[in-house]
Structure 1
Amino acid sequence: MPNPYKHEPLTKFQEDAKATAEITAAIKKVESELGQTYPIIINGQTVESSNVIESINPANKSEIIGRVYYATVEIAEQAIQAALASFETWKNTSVELRAGVLFRAAAIIRRRKHEFNAWLVKEVGKPWAEADGETAECIDFLEYYGRQMFELAKGGEVKHNPGEHNEFTYFPLGVGIVIPPFNFSLAIMAGTTVGAVVTGNTVVLKPAETAPVIAAKFMEVLKEAGLPDGVVNYLPGSGAEIGDYLVDHIKTRFISFTGSRAVGCRIYGRAAQVHDGQIWLKRVIAEMGGKDTIIVDSEADVDLAAQSIVKSAFGYAGQKCSACSRAVIHQDVYDVVLEKVVALASELKMGDPTNGDTFVGPVISDKSFNKIKEYIEIGKGEGRLVLGGGSDDSTGYFVEPTIIADVHEDARLMKEEVFGPVLAISKATDFDHLIKVANNTDYGLTGAVISQNAAHIEQAKREFHVGNLYINRGCTAAIVGYQPFGGFNMSGTDSKAGSPDYLQLHLQAKSISETF
């Protein structure tokens, strides 16, 4: 039976001496390559612009990870045209060829696993074990979607009348715009890109502005794996400058986006507009964050509850869409669970993620740092600060694991996404109240229930309105093919990544009937 927590971070990665030595060597290798300049890539050719942006290490602001050329609208147009031209041949390639690229890319990344771990540590501040889990997830996406495409290529089963043969098959859509997030700048970036590619579409990839180098390294992998030029075009750039242009373009067939609610809603609205010359309705595949809750019943294992809350709240400094930013605890066990949560969280080591025993690294940027600080101040006025609250951006963007207790269920800290290491804790009177508070948000991504009461667990399955519900475990660490990932309401389009249905979002179905 597979371990359902195989990608869940460990507190002390250095317990594995061999892995420690390998990743230490990988970090040194990556450090020797820092500061290089990465061009735009269109149809396999490098393109430069007049605007070069630096990607910095969020744990050490003086360290430049790399420099990237930023695209203009004119260059974005070139990328669209290249993807459009490549689509005419790529859409007709065999499933074996397309899936083969994914399988070879997975093998390359598996061989270079610690190197990619090191890039994640450096560019986005992931602690070792979190980085290792993400690289594993990237490999899973590549292999899973490759296998799934063989199933989809069979088409759907339909019935036949005498003298008539019917087929139900799938065709690719066209050019897709892929806009991934910083927090899973390898796994989600790769998964959304190859999900489009293996189904026969071509892509303009606009990487996260704070993680362009990792995407550039993935482009190297795709080239080595044999992906033809122009199928994926690497287009770093400012969302303000080229984002709307890519979304609005009449040749854009779909947009695959992971990021903030505000940007996702903007994309969704703009994609709905039909422009002159546009002959289709664009699809949007969107995952837009969450306000995720772990509820603790009166009949709960209180140690499991505390461990699940702390790991889910503070892993990767709370910068996961699935992170537990709210714990709602039954009044009968509130004090004991709160005490255990504070005790466990106070033991977490915060610091530079290149150190193997770091659990809480930096947040991604000054913008994020300042936003989190503002929410901590809001939280102090809405509840009782019981841990943390401090921050330091003198070297990197560090925010202490922060817990604010006794927060009212309607407080801002209980309803607005913070995206940082800040946990709000609220009290409930009974199980119905626990469910009510858990659903008291615009989001619906992940949630967890800690309870030994079978009736309450069944009630949660029916009434806890989230796309990913976990019973007696934390609310993070979905595994490709095991827990398909995507949420309800303002968490997005519930486009379940890592599911048997995901690739169909990049295809259109065709029914063919031949009479003899």
Structure 2
Amino acid sequence: MTNSAGLPVFKNEAFTDFSLPVNQALMEAALRKVKAELGRDYPLRIGAERIMTGDKIVSVNPGNISEVVGRVSKASLGLAEQAMQEALNSFEAWKRVPAAERAGYVFKAAQLMRERKHEFSALMIVEAGKNWAEADADTAEAIDFMEFYGREMIRLSLTNEHQPLTKIEGEDNRLAYIPLGVGIVIPPWNFPLAICAGMTTAAIVCGNTVVLKPSSLTPVIAHKFVALMEEAGLPSGVINFVPGSGAEIGDFLTKHPKTRFISFTGSKEIGLRIHALASHTADGQKWMKRVIAEMGGKDGIVVDETANVEQAAKAIVASAFGFQGQKCSAGSRAIIVEAVYDKVVQLVKEETEKLSVGLPELNCPAGPVSDRQAYDKIMDYIEIGRREGRLLTGGDKAEGNGYYIQPTVFVDVDSKSRIMQEEIFGPVLAIGRAKDYKEAIAMYNDTEFGLTGSFFSQDEAHIHYALDEMFCGNLYINRKCTGALVGVHPFGGFNMSGTDSKAGGYDYLLLFTQAKLTSRKT
């Protein structure tokens, strides 16, 4: 089956079944290959140049801090300016490349990644601390983003395909979506391939060029992605790779007068800083800079008295502790009506205590958090939780030569407490009690964020109320609040969760384009 552009209909990349011995063997082989390449030096990539600098970002395996994953060259302000000039020069040619041809590079890269899927996943296991399933899902999502955005750009390029215009006699009117210019892409460390690939390819497939500043925690994965795009034939200068300090390189590029847009995924604090810096007009700037931001969440699951409590408990634990709670969609709150509160709490305790903590390479259900700074912050929040609620399980560091923390649950937590209000970004779950489903939903809404949420119920009236009243960008009924699929669950949130940019959705590419209307007398 093909779509209106003659392309095969988009289909999500399948997840790997690691219960099969053949797939286990493939992942083990990929891990051996990745481990054999640890400790290498990686250059900046500015246009056709590969630049090694003396100053390096040292990437360390968070699950085994004795291992250096790689040393990635760090850009100076001068090199950041060089990257901007290269992107500006390349934009003049790239914007004229037909949309289908631009998409072709992205499709080629998706195919190459598909052929080396386990290798990319293995690198994330080592550099980001993901277990096999989480890493595999990340790689699958990266492939999905490239396939989806390539198709979308071709569709948008068809005359009046996206937004048919009203016809009038004597005129030929057309609406075209043209690129913006040079964008700064700042992806996060927690989805170091999927979001990096998605943000970058969305920008370039629209005809923009980019300066990519990856997270300093996962720069080797980002380098591997950029090298893959080059292998796919992407012209030099379309993506320029400049790892560096956010406070130095990030601010400089955000404030640059030639920056047309900033695409960012990360914390609320940095997102707001980018928004503030981008709002100021620099000398020589001709436009208002566009900011596309996904900033985080304090997501939660609400359970009413009619819910299937076993399913709800499993979803709460999966949402709270998948990838150690290091997802902006992580369900770090659960709000349960008092009629089933004790039962759900007991089931959550039992499910949480099934999670063994250990080395991601061994595919342990729970692994390390990202680095020492995150570890210390999470342990501080656990101490706060001891004062704000009752510790149900966990609450301490876990064994291992890395940043390991026990999955931790606090119960009887007030909705105004810090662990119910602030994004912890770690394996900490707070559970609160409500008298009924309406109070539970009011408690859920009592946050500055609005990214994901779930509602568990078997009462249709309650479900309809939740659909109307729960305020978030992605609301799920009777399932976990993590795991958005490209093309299925366009992803982005309200309030301090960002600009509701809906990554993986059919209007996402409009953020990287501007609509030009042409009208011609006939």
**TM-score normalised by L of structure 2:** 0.96
1:445 paired to 2:460: no
Q: What is residue 35 of structure 1 aligned with on the other side?
A: 39
Partner of 1:421: 427
CA distance in 1, matches of 2:38, 2:438: 53
Residue 313 of structure 2 is matched in structure 1 by: 306
Q: One-letter code of the match for 2:250?
A: G
Aligned amino acid, residue 399 of structure 1: I
Aligned to 1:195: 202
Q: Deviations over 1:275-307 (max 9, x none)?
A: 111000000000000000000011100000001
- Equivalent residue for 2:5? none
The secondary structure found in structure 1 opposite 2:67 is strand
Provide the C-alpha distance between the structure 1 equivalents of 2:449 and 2:287, rounded to a whole number of angstroms. Answer: 29
Moved more, 44-53 or 63-72: 44-53
What SS does structure 1 have at the residue aligned with 2:327?
coil
Of residues 45, 49, 52, the one that matches 1:45 is 49
Maintained 8 Å contact 2:13/2:141:
no
Query: What is the RMSD of the two structures over their aligned residues, measured on CA atoms?
Result: 1.4
Q: Does residue 1:390 correspond to 2:390, yes or no?
A: no
1:7: how far off? 7.6
Residue 508 of structure 1: which of 504, 508, 514 is its match? 514
| Helix, strand or coil at the partner of 1:255 | strand
- Structure 1 49/396 Cα, relative in aligned 2: closer, same or farther at 3 Å? same
Residues 190-249 of structure 1: per-residue CA shift (max 9 Å, x gap): 000000000000000000110000011001110111100000000110112211100000
User: Which residue of structure 2 lines up, in the alignment, with residue 296 of structure 1?
Assistant: 303
SS in 1 for 2:207: coil
Equivalent position of 2:340 in the other structure: 333
In structure 2, what is the equivalent of residue 430 of structure 1? 436
Q: Counterpart of 1:355?
A: 362
1:219 alignment counterpart: 226
CA contact 1:351–1:360 (8 Å) conserved in 2: yes
Indicate conservation of the 8 Å contact 2:184/2:210, yes or no. yes
Specify the alignment match of 2:116 in structure 1: 112
Aligned pair partner of 1:159 in 166, 171, 175: 166
2:477 matched residue in structure 1: 471
Aligned residues: 509
Contact 2:450 2:496 in 1 (8 A): yes
In 1, distance between residues paired with 2:438 and 2:489?
Answer: 26
Distance 1:479 1:230 in 2: 31
User: Which residue identity lines up with residue 407 of structure 1 in the other structure?
Assistant: V
- For 1:36 and 1:76, how far apart are their aligned partners in 2? 23
Matches of 1:321 and 1:147, distance apart in 2: 27
Deviation, structure 1 residue 6: 8.6
Q: TM-score, normalized by length of structure 1?
A: 0.97
Cα distance change of structure 1 residues 390 and 8 upon mapping to structure 2, 3 Å threshold: farther
- When structure 1 is superposed on structure 2, of 439-448 and 44-53 the one drifting more is 44-53
One-letter code aligned to 1:169: A
Kept after mapping to 1: 8 A contact 2:12/2:144: no
One-letter code aligned to 1:39 = P
Partner of 2:193: 186
Distance 1:338 1:17 in 2: 36
The residue that corresponds to 1:70 in the other structure is 74
**Matching residue within 489, 512, 516 for 1:483:** 489
Identity of aligned residues (%): 53
8 Å contact from structure 2 (residues 13, 144) kept in 1: no
Determine the C-alpha separation between the residues in 2 that align with 1:491 and 1:411.
19
* CA distance in 1: counterparts of 2:358 and 2:392, whole angstroms: 21
Instruction: Give a deviation string over 1:39-68, Cα, whole Å, max 9, x none.
Output: 000002111223112100000111000001
Cα offsets for 1:49-93 (capped at 9, x unmatched)? 231121000001110000011001100000000000000000000
Deviations 1:387-441 (A, max 9, x none): 0011158610001000000001111110000000000000000111011000010
CA–CA separation in structure 2 for the residues paired with 1:246 and 1:115: 32
Tell me which residue corresponds to 2:287.
280
Counterparts of 2:92 and 2:437, CA distance in 1: 56
Between the aligned partners of 1:164 and 1:52, the Cα distance in structure 2 is: 59
In 2, the alpha carbon distance for the partners of 1:458 and 1:277 equals: 52
Contact kept? 1:7, 1:477, Cα under 8 Å: no
Q: Which amino acid aligns with 2:58?
A: E
- Tell me the distance in 2 between the aligned counterparts of 1:44 and 1:160: 47
Which residue number corresponds to residue 455 of structure 1?
461
* 4+ long deviations beyond 3 Å: 4-9
Where do 5+ consecutive residues of structure 2 fail to align?
1-10
Find the counterpart in structure 2 of residue 409 from structure 1.
415
**AA aligned opposite 1:291:** K
What whole-Å deviation, never above 9, does each CA across 1:106-159 have from its counterpart, x for those lacking one? Answer: 110000000001000000000000000110000000100011111110243112
Query: Are positions 1:230 and 2:234 aligned together?
Result: no
1:207/1:215 contact within 8 Å kept: yes
The 1:171/1:212 distance shift into structure 2, 3 A limit, reads: same
Residue matched to 1:84: 88
Q: Is there any run of 5+ residues in structure 1 with no aligned partner, and where? A: none
2:375 counterpart residue number? 369
- Distance in 2 (CA, whole Å) between partners of 1:225 and 1:252 is 26
Q: Against the structure 1 CA distance between its residues 185 and 108, is the aligned structure 2 distance closer, same or farther, given a 3 Å change threshold? A: same
Q: SS state of the match for residue 22, structure 2?
A: helix
For the 8 Å contact 1:387–1:401, the answer to whether it is kept is yes
